[in-house]
Structure 1
Amino acid sequence: MANSYAQPILRTTDLSEGLRVVERLLAIADLRELEIDYKAHVSSIRTLTPLLELLPWASWYTEDDRDASSEAGDDPSAHLPICLRSWAQSPETVGSFLDSLHDTPATVRWDFRGWPAAPEVGLDSGGSRGAFVTLCVNVRDIDLEEPATDHTVFVHVKQIEAERAPWLAAQVGLEVIGDLVMAPY
């Protein structure tokens, strides 16, 4: 399975604005099979507790040499900071996830069936491998490596359909604001 490629289309300090852009993108997508994936770099009990209440089956691991993880049955609160991940969540969990974050760097990725045809750039409907929207919260990149006080919306496309990203941005009144980058799984 190939990775998708992501391109930023909005950077804002207003999380509500980011969510509105996501909603507008989702309004043109084929939302069959819609599910939400989360990733967060958690460094406080204040954030960890509500996240684990919301996502009790989330997996987590340390990012240093301590080798602690959910797979090993360790207590995450004893091993902060951790990387917490959860896949295939319902869209109804997004608000609670965002409310739990405070200043924690995190991503919310909407995964769905496909993008619409973009005849203006010669593309048919886009399939599921390149059909995502990611909202990066308190971070500038999808790898969670550039903490920030703002939030970024990325559209995902197949690399061979790179021209779909600017087309998608234009559909919601925006334009791309950065490079197309390979997205992590």
Structure 2
Amino acid sequence: MANSYAQAVLRTTDLAEVLRAAGRLLELADTTELEVDFEARVSTPGELERLSGVMPEAEWFSYGTDRHGFSKDGGVPSECLPVLLRRWCMAPETVEEFVAVAGDVPAMVRWDFNGWPEAPEVGLGSGGCRGAYVTVCMNARDLDICFVEEPAPDHTLYVHVKQIEAERAPWLAAQVGLRIIGELEMAPL
């Protein structure tokens, strides 16, 4: 598992607004190869049923003090709640359905693409795929939603960059009318 570095650039209770801002950032990126990863913290059988429908063959693991199950062990997620569901490499067209069924659960959408554009104003050439992500955390303020104990009342947009190119994050935010609102932090992928 690799890590990237991310900075929050928007926090709002308006999910449509945060998704539009994510779209503006993606317009800057080289998205000739674009895929999406999903994660959701699932606590009830109803949430599990809804999210499993849009995350076929999702990896899952139980979390918390009573952690007792993992998809690779052949367990049944409904018997191990709460669980974290993960599904990687989904088509971008699946985002709308995922967002619709996620409802108020802590969830994450991460767009993975080829790279960021040149940022000549801050002395950076085109960025490669390492560190090139945009993440929306729904009902969560933490990039690692496994640690979210209670759903947040808002949603947070993060831009990911290489650690050595940290100055790219505020530059990207400014290109779409946003600004950095948090510290650069390591983001597990």
Short-chain TM bin: over 0.9
Distance across 2 between alignment mates of 1:177 and 1:42: 28
Tell me the CA shift for residue 96 of structure 1: 1.0
- CA deviation vs aligned residue, 1:144-177 (integer Å, no higher than 9, x gap): 2343110000000000000000000000001000
SS in 1 for 2:3: coil
SS in 2 for 1:183: strand
Partner of 1:154: 158
TM-score, normalised to structure 1, is 0.96
Equivalent residue pairs, number: 185
Distance across 2 between alignment mates of 1:51 and 1:101: 7
Code of the residue aligned with 2:165 in structure 1: it is E
Q: Please identify runs of 4+ aligned residues in structure 1 that moved more than 6 A.
A: none
Code of the residue aligned with 1:55 in structure 2: it is M
Distance across 1 between alignment mates of 2:67 and 2:174: 45
Partner of 1:49: 49
Partner of 1:181: 185
Residue 167 (1) aligns with residue 171 (2): yes
Partner of 2:130: 129
Code of the residue aligned with 2:121 in structure 1: it is E
Distance across 1 between alignment mates of 2:105 and 2:111: 19
TM-score, normalised to structure 2, is 0.94
Does the aligned pair in 1 maintain the 2:68–2:80 contact within 8 Å? Answer: no
Partner of 2:23: 23
Partner of 2:86: 85
Partner of 2:70: 69
Alpha-carbon RMSD: 1.2
Query: Which consecutive unaligned segments of at least 5 residues does structure 2 have?
Result: none
SS in 2 for 1:4: strand
Code of the residue aligned with 2:139 in structure 1: it is N
Query: Which consecutive unaligned segments of at least 5 residues does structure 1 have?
Result: none
Partner of 1:35: 35
Tell me the CA shift for residue 39 of structure 1: 1.0
Code of the residue aligned with 1:27 in structure 2: it is E
Tell me the CA shift for residue 55 of structure 1: 1.6
Tell me the CA shift for residue 67 of structure 1: 2.7
Distance across 2 between alignment mates of 1:46 and 1:119: 49
Distance across 1 between alignment mates of 2:112 and 2:180: 20
Tell me the CA shift for residue 141 of structure 1: 1.3
Distance across 1 between alignment mates of 2:153 and 2:60: 24
Code of the residue aligned with 1:115 in structure 2: it is W
Distance across 1 between alignment mates of 2:182 and 2:115: 22
Structure 2 CA distance for partners of 1:72 and 1:126, relative to 1, 3 Å: same
Does the aligned pair in 1 maintain the 2:2–2:188 contact within 8 Å? Answer: no
